[in-house]
Chain A
Amino acid sequence: MAKDPLAEAGLHFDELNKLRILEPDVGQKTTELKEECKEFVDKIGQFQKIVGGLIEMVDELAKEAEKEKMKAIGARNLLKSVAKQREAQQQQLQALIAEKKMQLERYRIEYDALSKVEAEQNEFIDQFILHK
């Protein structure tokens, strides 16, 4: 095909017979490219949004996890301290029990002494009755 002088001059006609300075093919492709680019940008934007959301979510999760972790540590410590508290309480109660035991021992001795006195008195009464 002979070279179109117009084409050589860089002028072309499209299907609608409008004068163009680009080749219609190229022009079409450019448009296509533009379209695609736009689509790509849109998609990238969408992706970014999604990823942002994801990051946010993960961050939140991390925070949550951290909180839970702290809670767990706290609970564990509390558990440990409860054991210690119980120990202290037990110790206190033991001390009180020891005190009461001592008191009981004192009462026991007192009771023994009183029983002895009672026995002596009974014996005396018996003796008295027998003699008279």
Chain B
Amino acid sequence: MRFKLSLLKEPKHILSCVGWTTADELFSCSEDHQILKWNLLTNETAVVVKLQDDIYPIDLHWFPKTVGGKKQATAESFVLTSTDGKFHLISKTGRIEKSVEAHRGAVLAGRWNYDGTALITAGEDGQIKIWSKSGMLRSTLAQQGTPVYSVAWGPDSDRILYTFGRQLIIKPLQPSSKVLQWKAHDGIILKVDWNSMNDLILSGGEDCKYKVWDSYGRLLYSSSSNDYPVTSVAWAPDGEVFAVGSFNTLRLCDKTGWSYALEKPNTGSVFSLAWSADGTQLAGACGNGHVIFAHIVEQRWEWRNFEITLTKRRTMQVRNVSNDAVDILEFRDRVIKASLAHGHLVVATSLQCSLYSTKNWNTPLIFDLKEGTVSLILQAERYFLLVDGGGIYVYSYEGRLVSTPKFAGMRTDILNAQSVSLSNDTIAVRDKTDEKVVYLFDAQTGKAIGDGKPFSHKLEVMEIALDQCGPSSDRKIALIDKNHDLYLTSVRRLGREHSVHKIVSGALFKTSLNWITKNLSSVIIFILFTVSNLPVLLTCSEFSRTPHILNYVGAQVSVRRADGSLVYSSVSPYPALLHEYSGSARWEDALRLCRFAKDQTLWACLAGMAMANRELTTAEVAYAAIQEVDKVQYINFIKDLPSKESSLAHTLLFSGHVQEAEATLLQAGLVYQAIQIHINLYNWGQVRHSLSLELAVKHKTHVDTVLAHRQKFLQVFSKKETNKRFLQYSEGVEVDWEKIQAKIEMELAKERERAANSSVRSSVASRR
């Protein structure tokens, strides 16, 4: 990935600031009091307005496009700060709507918040002031002895970040809240930026370094010392990359800090940088009077044997690595986003969306987009998902709109790959207003899953991921919360969470298996889930600090290390094969595979899979292989059970689903067996016991059986009856062991008889 630069020929006077209106229109202000408009489509430059001679502009910021959920087509006005201590609200046509005396000395920065309700200005006099939309002073937020060179809003517009000499300060708007202040650079800090998508802070200063911080002020990246002071920094709107400007220097960096590309244009110092809203273009105001334009090219996507490069703004090159065939894809407009996975390439340009199949690069499926800027594309096997300013859209690969999930207060402009996840049947979206909440939708209908209530975690959720294969009833979601703990829960049965591992920084489900990849600070662990939800540790590989998982296709994981290098790691292919066999019920082959591989974990996985599929013979062999004698014995017991229902119930019991086992038995009318389950579980305490009693009372049978067992239990442990309900029932019931034995015999006989009947019936049915 790198910048392609272009400089328009005519140098103007010393430029101070730039700002985009649409993707192709830029406004710039210069020291000669002119505001210029640059049209990139026609390469034309026009003077919008000539300001009064005493206005020397310093900073320019467009009023945000999205206001209160409604999206305007273009920005209508902007704020311009000047050296005479005023800021000016200027309309798009260049008319000065209002000039406000704001500071003593120059106003060095002016920024609208994200919803356009407040404006913040910072001045040479060290004051920071908040203004209403119409330019009325609301409050003076801070006052200090040194000029404030740069200021930025926090993602929720409830905090601001500003410079104080060599320090950075985060100040919440609420007066009582705690102020965060830390020393950030060894020289005066000249520019800061705070991205709303990834909540990361960027700073650049006179010590010639640029640094990336998280919103708690922890250093994530510090560049080596460059040759010249860093005069400007800017996040791309999607938060994936950022740009750094300095004397004769323009740098494109990944959000983790390492640099993709360095350009040395002959521009003088780059004073101000601005990204267009779609994040494909960058403009900079240069010290020698040029406006430098840059757009990102040579982005790469890889999937299996295909390698796609964006060679020009509208051209992609597809290379099939296995046979070196090269295809060129041309688009009508600039490519904004693209995604390659599951055998399909999805390309979003400013007006259209093109779908290519990897089997055929010649005939794309093209449909028009409702709104221009697609900010996110996610792909699953059957569907893909587009996010733009207006909403979330799920499409099938035939180009048909499948659903548009919605919830109250949804803000699509800040959704990113960490806060949305898509699988074949489910969509998960993390709420922005309450980050503990995850909304789950059915992908086909777009309706909320279950009773419509979103899933709520106890801490703020940082990242979510849905698993990608298996039946929809087994759909799982992985959450990483603020403490970097990974949790797993089933989508259809919310509430039962498993804390899986601590200190995790990223999770990704594999595309074709029920696997999750996750990384500790230095290790990557692959976990295979047996269906009983017990994670099994499979492989560990060492990586350097803070790795970032890129993708996980086949048996290969690609990981980006902190320094930006790609590292690949292959996973043992056995589990994948095993999963395939179990999926197609080829248990003989699965056993052969396990015998061949001679791996304990593999046997354990097989045991879990077999048990989940009620394949008792296979499970028995697998458990025997990992020397779980008790389990083998229990399986043998299950095999000997007379009726189908009770063996099913015991299999469920084996997996720990007591409730389901009981329900199965009661449904089949096997009341005694249900009670027996509870009696057998009596080691787990009083609660179970009383439960079994209640069951007996409810069904009017076996009260004496339960009481007899209870008495026996109490005798063994030489305790006295304390449970009131047992006392109450034992009054009217005579315990006679012989009678009870006879009754049990009768029940068992009844069951055997029924089982025989039903097997005859089922064989008759199958013959029909």
Contact = CB atoms under 8 A, between A and B. Distances in A.
B261 interface: yes
Interface string A99-132: 1001001111110011011001100100000010
B558 to A, nearest CB: 9
A113 B567 contact: yes
> Which of B249, B259, B264 has the most chain A CB atoms closer than 10 A to its own CB?
B264
Contacts of B471: none
A96 B248 CA distance: 12
Contacts of B226: 95
B91 interface: no
Contacts of B561: 109
Nearest to B563: A106
B566 A106 contact: yes
> Which of A95, A107, A108 has the most chain B CB atoms closer than 10 A to its own CB?
A95
A121 B556 CA distance: 11
B564 A96 contact: no
A113 B568 contact: yes
Contact of B565 (A105, A120, A124, A131): A105
Contacts of B563: 102, 105-106, 109
A110 B570 contact: no
Given A95-B249, A99-B259, A110 B264 contact: no
A91 interface: yes
Contacts of B564: 102, 106
A113 B567 CA distance: 5
> Which of B563, B564, B565 has the most chain A CB atoms closer than 10 A to its own CB?
B565
Contacts of B721: none
A40 to B, nearest CB: 69
Given A95-B262, A96-B262, A124-B573, A109 B567 contact: yes
A110 B565 contact: yes
B596 A113 contact: no
A31 interface: no
Interface string B552-576: 0000100001011111111001000
B227 A91 contact: yes
A117 B570 contact: yes
Contacts of B259: 99, 102
B568 A117 contact: yes
Nearest to A132: B596
Contacts of B568: 110, 113-114, 116-117
B596 A131 contact: yes
A46 interface: no
Contacts of A91: 227
Chain B contact-residue range equals: 20 to 34
A77 interface: no
Nearest to A92: B264
A70 B573 CA distance: 79
Contacts of B261: 99
A102 B569 CA distance: 22
Interface string B577-605: 00000000000000000001000000000
A92 B566 contact: no
A33 B390 CA distance: 118
Nearest to A119: B570
Contacts of A110: 565-568
Chain A contact-residue range equals: 20 to 34
A107 B565 contact: yes
Given A99-B259, A109-B567, A92 B556 contact: no
A108 B563 CA distance: 12
A60 to B, nearest CB: 41
Contacts of B566: 106, 109-110, 113
A116 B569 CA distance: 8
Given A91-B227, A106-B564, A113 B569 contact: yes
A14 B565 CA distance: 127
Given A95-B262, A109-B561, A120 B227 contact: no
A94 to B, nearest CB: 9
B519 to A, nearest CB: 15
> Which of A92, A106, A113, A117 has the most chain B CB atoms closer than 10 A to its own CB?
A113
A102 B596 CA distance: 44
B565 A95 contact: no
Nearest to A120: B570
A91 B226 CA distance: 11
B304 to A, nearest CB: 15
A14 B542 CA distance: 139
A32 B208 CA distance: 94
Interface in B217-266: 226-227, 248-249, 258-259, 261-262, 264
A96 B2 CA distance: 13
B249 A117 contact: no
Interface in B382-436: none
Contacts of A113: 566-569
Contacts of A107: 565
A112 to B, nearest CB: 8
A108 B564 CA distance: 12
A116 B261 CA distance: 28
Nearest to B572: A124
Given A92-B248, A117-B556, A120-B570, A109 B565 contact: yes
A87 to B, nearest CB: 11
A110 B258 CA distance: 16
A96 B249 CA distance: 10
B550 to A, nearest CB: 12
A113 B565 CA distance: 10
A66 B568 CA distance: 71
A106 B260 CA distance: 11
B78 to A, nearest CB: 35
A131 B596 CA distance: 8
Contacts of A95: 226-227, 249, 262, 264
B248 A106 contact: no
A99 B262 contact: yes
A23 to B, nearest CB: 93
A27 B248 CA distance: 94
Nearest to A110: B566
B269 to A, nearest CB: 14
B264 A96 contact: yes
Nearest to B226: A95
Interface in B258-311: 258-259, 261-262, 264
A99 B258 CA distance: 10
B59 to A, nearest CB: 29
A99 B2 CA distance: 12
B232 to A, nearest CB: 17
Contacts of A117: 556, 568-570
Contacts of A108: 565
A57 B468 CA distance: 97
A101 B227 CA distance: 17
Contacts of A102: 258-259, 563-564
Interface in B176-235: 226-227
Contacts of B248: 92
Contacts of A121: 570
Nearest to A121: B570
A107 B570 CA distance: 18
B654 to A, nearest CB: 33
23 contacts: A91-B227, A92-B248, A95-B226, A95-B227, A95-B249, A95-B262, A99-B261, A102-B563, A102-B564, A105-B563, A105-B565, A106-B564, A106-B566, A109-B566, A109-B567, A110-B565, A113-B567, A113-B568, A114-B568, A117-B556, A117-B569, A120-B570, A121-B570
Given A105-B565, A124-B573, 4 more contacts: A95-B264, A96-B262, A107-B565, A110-B568
Interface of B: 226-227, 248-249, 258-259, 261-262, 264, 556, 561, 563-570, 573, 596
For the complex of A and B, the 7 pairs showing the least CB-CB separation, nearest first, are: A106-B565, A109-B565, A99-B262, A113-B567, A110-B566, A92-B264, A113-B568
